[in-house]
Amino acid sequence: MARRKVATAKPKKIAKRMVKKSIVGGVTNRPAQMKADPKVTAPSNGEWRELPPPSTKPWGEDGKALDGVRILDFTHVQAGPTCTQLLAYMGADCIKIERPGAGDITRGQLRDVKGADSLYFTMLNGNKRSITIDSKHPKGKEILERLIKHCDVLVENFGPGTLERMGLTWEYIHKTNPRMIVASVKGFGPGPYEDCKVYENIAQCAGGAASTTGFRDGPPLVTGAQIGDSGTGLHLAFGIVTALYQRMRTGRGQRILCAMQDGVLNLARVKLRDQQRLGHGPLTEYGQHGEGIPFGVAVPRAGNDSGGGQPGWILKCKGWETDPDAYTYFITQAPIWGAICDLIGKSEWKTDPDYATPPARLPRLRHIFNTIEEWTKTKTKFEVMDICNQHDIPVGPILSMKEIAEEPSLRTTGTVVEVDHPTRGKYLTVGNPVKMSDSITEVRRSPLLGEHTEEILTEVLGYSAEEYAAIKSSGAITPSEKKETEAA
Ligand code: CAO
């Protein structure tokens, strides 16, 4: 793929902007007043403390962003694990609690290698440690209490009421460890649906994404991107990091709730924007306006129309007859309209009043894109990318998952990472999509079920060897015989 031009700001300008920002933000940055001891402690008087002196270690060699943060990870399936995996990528010590003998249900779902953890599990639980605890066993409850005292954040995405049924109410957790942040994903926030269990596609439907996705003459569509699960996990991670920041000032934890419906709506906010615009007239940038089809009472599905004021569409490229992904996205951004006309052999459109201005083009978009497509059909999607980028025309090849998996630049940046696993061998996972200059992510494989049980009980929670042996024989960390007999 051709490299895109990247706008670069002059270093001096950036430095000036950063100074201004830190003053606006109220962060004192005066070296003369720096404390010698860089340890971070919560301020006792509620006033903000000074920052430690800037590290002199090389970039990326002074630990990770969330070093020292310990997570009690009570998550399962996708929404919760996405969140905790991101926190683990950032350096948090993520301790995943799993049911003895079973574990996260996704370990066995969509299995592709017999007897090995599925990709569903391994790609969502990297960089974590796994401990098995029966949360309903008396000894298990005791271990959980100790974990609550030793952790900073509890993350869970059980069905409504499940955590409380385990005895882990907010009141109990807060009393046990007032500094603990309790972060939850639920399907819906407080209201008529708060007790409902929710999976990805339900959230996409309830959050407004499905009704605005697809083609006008077809049914609502869900998207392949997991905006309900992974999107909400991402929102939750943001909430956790900001709560950790607030805790440095207040010294106390708090509850965080991310409802999947809310997370999806946040990602679909431009459609709520359009809903309100609809009250003031037709949505002129939607293809249906140009086709003379009146709007109804709600935002319609817009097919492949581009979201903003830069009309775009998906166009066929060379090979489309046999390759389902031989397409490109093509945007007719106004400033480069002349370049598009020249490229596709329609230079006369530059001065033709029917085509020369964006408003004149709106009713003719279908014809315009059909004409551009006659040109893109003569090139591969990568040729279109190369040629158009020389003219600053925004286009994007439709990349298949196969192409993404094989794309060398994504391997170089650590966005696609190959890791080795003791039972399933090598597999690809998505690395940290957030790149930080001083917190470098090293992606590690997901843990086997209960792989770190002994290490966490003895090294983190301080149980002696005798106590560990007693816990082991109590049945709190091993599958019960009854369950094993049932399974057999
Ligand atoms: N020891 C003993 N029991 C355990 C356990 C452990 N370590 N871990 C979990 N359990 C038990 C729970 O106590 C609960 O049992 P009860 O129902 O008897 O209280 C049960 O396992 C799990 O309950 P659940 O409701 O969370 O799971 P489910 O499979 O019935 O539902 C889901 C799954 C995802 C629909 C539901 O958890 C949910 O709605 N979560 C919130 C929304 C969400 O995150 N959805 C995203 C799903 S995809 O990422």
Element (H, E) at 131: strand 128-132
Ligand 1 pocket test: pick from 106, 162, 198 the residue with the most ligand atoms within 8 Å of its Cβ. 162
**Ligand 1, atom 31, residue with closest C-alpha:** 159
Whether residue 164 has pLDDT greater than 70: yes
Atom of ligand 1 nearest to the CA of 98: 7
For residues 170 and 194, what is the distance between their CA atoms, to the nearest angstrom?
17
State the average pLDDT over residues 399-417: 97
107's tokens = 């370990």
**Ligand 1, atom 19, residue with closest C-alpha:** 162
- Distance in Å, CA 76 to ligand 1 centroid: 7
CA 467 to chain centre: 40
CA atoms within 13 A on the CB side of 198: 31
For residues 154 and 166, what is the distance between their CA atoms, to the nearest angstrom?
14
- Mean residue pLDDT of the chain comes to 90
Query: What is the C-alpha R_g of the chain?
Result: 27
Only one residue has tokens 């404390």, namely: 35
Atom of ligand 1 nearest to the CA of 140: 1
Percent of the chain with pLDDT over 70: 88
For residues 229 and 199, what is the distance between their CA atoms, to the nearest angstrom?
8
pLDDT band at 382 (very low <50, low <70, confident <90, very high): very high
Whether residue 33 has pLDDT greater than 60: no
Only one residue has tokens 């992904």, namely: 325
Tell me the β-bridge partners of 94: 71, 128
CB atoms within 10 A of CB 189: 13
For residues 412 and 466, what is the distance between their CA atoms, to the nearest angstrom?
48
Please report, for residues 33, 157, 186, 196, the alpha-carbon distance to residue 161 in angstroms, rounded to integers and kept in the order given: 49, 10, 10, 10
185's tokens = 């994903």
For residues 417 and 299, what is the distance between their CA atoms, to the nearest angstrom?
39
Least confident range from 32-36, 161-165, 383-387, 403-407: namely 32-36
pLDDT for position 48: 56
Ligand 1 pocket test: pick from 98, 110, 158 the residue with the most ligand atoms within 8 Å of its Cβ. 158
Instruction: Identify the DSSP state of 459.
Output: I
Cβ burial of 114 (10 Å; 0-12, 13-18, 19+) is exposed
Cβ neighbours of residue 146 closer than 8 Å, sequence gap 6 or more: 461
pLDDT for position 192: 96
Whether residue 454 has pLDDT greater than 60: yes
- Distance in Å, CA 161 to ligand 1 centroid: 9
pLDDT for position 481: 65
- Distance in Å, CA 295 to ligand 1 centroid: 42
> For 270, phi and psi rounded to 5 degrees?
-65, -25
For residues 89 and 233, what is the distance between their CA atoms, to the nearest angstrom?
14
Whether residue 27 has pLDDT greater than 80: no
195 lines ligand 1 (CB under 6 A): no
- Distance in Å, CA 162 to ligand 1 centroid: 7
pLDDT band at 331 (very low <50, low <70, confident <90, very high): very high
159 lines ligand 1 (CB under 6 A): yes
CB atoms within 10 A of CB 427: 19
Atom of ligand 1 nearest to the CA of 185: 44
Least confident range from 178-187, 202-211, 309-318: namely 309-318
pLDDT band at 8 (very low <50, low <70, confident <90, very high): very low
Whether residue 47 has pLDDT greater than 90: no
157 lines ligand 1 (CB under 6 A): yes
Between 17 and 156, the higher pLDDT residue: 156
155 lines ligand 1 (CB under 6 A): no
- Helix, strand or coil for residue 151? coil
Instruction: Identify the DSSP state of 180.
Output: -
Of the residues 73, 93, 229, 305, only one is catalytic, namely 229
Q: Rounded to the nearest 5 degrees, what angle is found at the Cα of 439, between the Cα atoms of 436 and 445?
A: 105
pLDDT for position 464: 97
Whether residue 482 has pLDDT greater than 80: no
Instruction: Identify the DSSP state of 460.
Output: I
Instruction: Identify the DSSP state of 430.
Output: E
Least confident range from 28-37, 194-203, 357-366, 388-397: namely 28-37
Whether residue 7 has pLDDT greater than 90: no
For residues 188 and 261, what is the distance between their CA atoms, to the nearest angstrom?
6
State the average pLDDT over residues 323-340: 96
**What 3 state SS string does 131-149 have?**
EECCCCCHHHHHHHHHHHH
User: Dihedral (C-alpha) 199, 202, 208, 213: value to the nearest 10 degrees?
Assistant: 100
175 lines ligand 1 (CB under 6 A): no
For residues 231 and 476, what is the distance between their CA atoms, to the nearest angstrom?
34
- Is 229 part of the annotated catalytic residue set? yes
Which ranges of 194-268 would DSSP assign to H, the alpha helix? 200-206, 229-250, 260-267
